[in-house]
Chains A and B, each alone.
Chain A
Amino acid sequence: TQLLEQSPQFLSIQEGENLTVYCNSSSVFSSLQWYRQEPGEGPVLLVTVVTGGEVKKLKRLTFQFGDARKDSSLHITAAQTGDTGLYLCAGFGDSGYALNFGKGTSLLVTP
């Protein structure tokens, strides 16, 4: 099983601050995905990164895939209360079609 480690596990910041969430593995992934999940709901896909070194931007969110395709980061600029949620990274496992999820980073943005 290809494990994905996320850090930090919990993060509480004030509106306007910047933050970075990390997703690391000892295994190489063909791609990594980032999801955001709100309480009582299913996860929603934010982005898929495929190429080593790739950087993708989604408004105030910046996603980066490591050159060796073993790690990824999510940076949020000027966080808003609406960014509160559980952020999960995921990669396709050995089977090639089932997703392995990291443990998640629970983000709380306060006014």
Chain B
Amino acid sequence: GAVVSQHPSRVICKSGTSVKIECRSLDFQATTMFWYRQFPKQSLMLMATSNEGSKATYEQGVEKDKFLINHASLTLSTLTVTSAHPEDSSFYICSASPSGPGLYEQYFGPGTRLTVT
């Protein structure tokens, strides 16, 4: 149980285009989902927290107009990288919390490798 999927697993796009990444909780409902990015040989950095039916909360330094997050249902959150640039190339990982905030359960997806050329 508690499986989180991401789609696509890898994507290559040209500079200036937009890319959408999906995060799905397959066997549970996720009130809260989180988006992280990870650069090579570095740790995960939280980008934003997504709550179903409300606006995402972005971490300091993360441009909300560039990284659009939609959490329209209890099993799906999407991250859209708009007008992507090479510096946006990174490993994007989502996680989902089945029990809401404050508890210990947070399940991670397998990640999406974004390469912007």
Contact = CB atoms under 8 A, between A and B. Distances in A.
Interface residues of B, number: 27
- Which secondary structure dominates chain B's binding surface? strand
A75 interface: no
A43 B41 contact: no
Contacts, number: 57
B77 to A, nearest CB: 14
Interface in B61-111: 91, 93, 95, 97, 100-104, 106-111
B43 A103 contact: yes
A57 to B, nearest CB: 18
Interface of B: 4, 6, 32, 34, 41-46, 49, 91, 93, 95, 97, 100-104, 106-111, 113
Interface of A: 31, 33, 35, 40-45, 48, 50, 88, 92, 95-104, 106
